[in-house]
A and B are shown apart, each in its own frame.
Chain A
Amino acid sequence: MYRSHVLICGGTGCTSSGSAAIEKALVSEIEKNGLKEEVQVVKTGCFGLCALGPIMIVYPEGTFYSMVKVEDIPEIVEEHLLKGRVVTRLVYQETVTDNGIKSLQDTAFYKKQNRVALRNCGVINPENIDEYIGEGGYQALAKVLTEMSPDDVIQTILDSGLRGRGGGGFPTGMKWKLARNIVKDADQKYVCCNADEGDPGAFMDRSVLEGDPHVVLEAMAIAGYAIGATQGYIYVRAEYPIAVERLEIAIKQAREYGLLGNNIFGTDFSFDIGLRLGAGAFVCGEETALMTSIEGNRGEPRPRPPFPAEKGLFQKPTILNNVETYANIPQIILNGSDWFASMGTEKSKGTKVFALGGKIHNTGLVEVPMGTTLRTVIEEIGGGIPNGKKFKAAQTGGPSGGCIPAEHMDIPIDYDNLISIGSMMGSGGLIVMDEDNCMVDIAKFFLEFTVDESCGKCTPCRIGTKRMYEMLDKITRGQGTLEDIDKLEELCYYIKQNSLCGLGQTAPNPVLSTLRYFRDEYVAHVVDKKCPAGVCKHLLSFEIDPEKCKGCTLCSRVCPAGAISGAVKTPHVIDKDKCLKCGACIEKCKFGAISKK
């Protein structure tokens, strides 16, 4: 028996900020103090609060240490683990109160969260199947195989109201039902998992794979039983090495325990799972492209129909769900569809994980009931915008989604509301932007992404997105006209209607939503030749405030173009014809005398 457990986050965020070195230091320091038999160190998945990484929690007290450094370890071990005195200096300051340390669950970041898909992330050691089983893992699979018929399983998922968490929000139970019934005598069916999380800024699937890989395996086996498949594939991004490694370990352990393979739980149900690594193509997140890629081809989408439920992978009936969708399945089976349907809004049930990023204090992963407002997520859980800046927009849905302006901050977030305001749920990336972000530049950024990632198969997407990018580029250079804005909008609708797959059909969304809410910024670029946020270089002019300039000459020395002149101790001047707008002078000026407008 251990008297204390120290949980260290081994997710990508904390690993990147050095948690592996901390784990090593901790283990050796614990040995040095003779606590090896008393304190256990557990490497877990992501706690969600990536902004404060590396993160460490000491149980049973639940003390939450944040931004831990290797140098801090001896102090934590000696003071806390040996002498039982919390090192308040290193504790997450939100948890420090006058009456001692409060529980992490009571902090603003966690209070309004409800972790269903992420329930085990940051709690168990993902590389140990026993810990997953200890938390009730594989009980749902046992229940399904021994007590439920495939139709019961599908009905339960249908009743729960679960919708696909990867983007479109198609009812999961419906997908399963189609795959079960549409082809009666299929000799083979497949269950696939979309772990090709491509939306830049979304990392909840990675977190589940890294923090709780078995939940995906269990859910896929349940899906296999429901539709009558014996083989599954997980298509995971090669950019997620930790996730790949933990999945490999999990599959191996599940096979050893007989939870994958032949005759699971002594029934006549057999199911196995193979891993396939993506190779960096965003379009492979589209279901037919993903299947084409698993088959070993260029990952180009196929026209639908036939839908994958009829002819999917290797031309066999196939279902494809994403990681977060699967992570909900075992809990629905164990707790019932009513429990799941009691959370959320009328048409969007359950919870949703959001990846908070951009200009926000608490970057990280949060899971909230559907219907939570954007304001709650950003201001309460996310802790608001740093540096006293003003909120401008939240971007959801990645390159397929749109920007939500401040006026819609109080809308309850669910699939249908987001679409009605011109964005979409997507996989749940939520990037916050402040007054320093230019919305035309952001639209251009997303278009550059889609131009790069368009597979080239259909013309509207291949040529259309390129033309859109060129128009946006022209506007950010101050060469656009009002007519260009109209043409751009027209092209958006054309591409949406005529592209082959979801990538092209949604590619214009970032432009349409910024045009809808921030048209004045486009007009400012075109008519006034100004970038209000001060981002688009071609439209900026650099000026030195003669009142503030002390004539220190630093700026004229760093200017690569020799554009700044002036004698020592007299105000300097920028020659606008020579200025390259590189910003080197602003970085160096100690008096804040240089501004860009």
Chain B
Amino acid sequence: MSKTKNTVSFNGTAEQKDELLKVIAEKKNDKGALMPILQKAQDIYGYLPIEVQTIISDELNIPLEKIYGVATFYSQFSLNPKGKYKISVCLGTACYVKGSGDIFNKLQEKLGIAGGECTPDGKFSLEACRCIGACGLAPVLTVNEDVYGRLTVDDIDDILNKYAD
């Protein structure tokens, strides 16, 4: 379970809710629909606050504690909002033996946050991830969809500067 505290209050819009209800209506009758619905819900809201879990619980008629259980089991689901730029450093074996641990530590130092946290301005969040399968380019990190490989600690400033806006 996440150790960090969610300090940002929920501000979902009516459009987001409509979209979620549509997804639920579509998938409701599929076998094992809960996971795909949670995944879509996270796409819509960016995370899975308790308010969103409650909507899903009501619509699917599944107890909230079960939904919470599933949402906290899988590392891809987040109960906290993520930064505008999500930095994930791969700590899979191939990256680790090539020094991704140092890169992760340097980022924590530069951003002033620990893994799993988000900078106070909401810009960067940092997490360690398991293998993304780009082992040929180790060590690797991703910023949202962008992948950076064959990294050294010295590359970090340049990468962060690209996301200055």
Q: What residues make up the interface of A, taking CB atoms closer than 8 Å to B?
A: 12-13, 15-17, 50-51, 53, 197-203, 206, 238-241, 276-282, 293-299, 314, 355, 357-359, 363-364, 395, 398, 429, 431, 433, 437, 442, 445-446, 449, 455, 587
Contact = CB atoms under 8 A, between A and B. Distances in A.
A358 B94 CA distance: 5
B44 interface: no
Contacts of A433: 97
Interface of B: 31-36, 38-39, 66, 69-70, 73-77, 91-94, 96-98, 129-138, 140, 145, 147-150, 153
4 residue pairs, one from A and one from B, having the closest CB atoms: A50-B136, A200-B92, A357-B94, A279-B74
A296 B34 contact: yes
A294 B75 contact: no
A296 B32 contact: yes
Given A203-B133, A279-B35, 10 more contacts: A199-B131, A200-B92, A239-B129, A278-B74, A280-B130, A281-B73, A294-B32, A358-B94, A363-B136, A395-B93
A358 B76 contact: no
12 contacts: A13-B136, A16-B134, A50-B137, A201-B92, A203-B135, A239-B76, A277-B39, A293-B35, A294-B35, A296-B32, A314-B32, A446-B93
Nearest to A584: B153
A201 B93 contact: yes
A431 B139 CA distance: 13
B32 A206 contact: no
A200 B94 contact: yes
A50 B74 contact: no
Contacts of A206: 133
Contact of A431 (B70, B77, B97): B97
Of B134, B135, B140, which is in contact with the most chain A CB atoms at under 10 Å from its CB? Answer: B135
A555 to B, nearest CB: 17
B137 A13 contact: yes
A545 to B, nearest CB: 23
Nearest to B69: A298
Interface centre among B91, B92, B129, B148 (most CB of A within 10 A): B92
Contacts of B153: 587
A307 to B, nearest CB: 20
A239 B96 CA distance: 18
B90 to A, nearest CB: 8
B96 to A, nearest CB: 6
A433 B91 CA distance: 16
A305 to B, nearest CB: 23
Contacts of A17: 137, 149-150
Given A276-B35, A279-B35, A298-B69, A201 B136 contact: no
A238 B147 contact: no
A202 B136 CA distance: 10
A456 to B, nearest CB: 9
A206 B130 CA distance: 14
B133 A280 contact: no
Nearest to B148: A16
A16 B135 CA distance: 11
Given A50-B135, A281-B75, A445 B35 contact: no
A53 B137 contact: yes
Given A16-B134, A279-B35, A296-B32, A238 B69 contact: no
A531 to B, nearest CB: 15
B35 A277 contact: yes
Contacts of B145: 241
Nearest to A432: B97
A446 to B, nearest CB: 8
B82 to A, nearest CB: 14
B120 to A, nearest CB: 23
Contacts of A364: 136
A16 B140 contact: yes
Contacts of A241: 145
A16 B70 contact: no
- Identify the interface centre among B94, B133, B135: most chain A CB within 10 Å of its CB: B133
A12 to B, nearest CB: 5
Q: Which one of A16, A293, A294, A364 has the greatest number of beta carbons of chain B within 10 Å?
A: A16
A240 B131 CA distance: 10
A194 to B, nearest CB: 15
A295 B32 CA distance: 4
B97 A12 contact: no
A431 B98 CA distance: 11
Given A16-B137, A16-B147, A298-B70, A277 B131 contact: no
A355 B70 contact: no
B128 to A, nearest CB: 9
B35 A363 contact: no
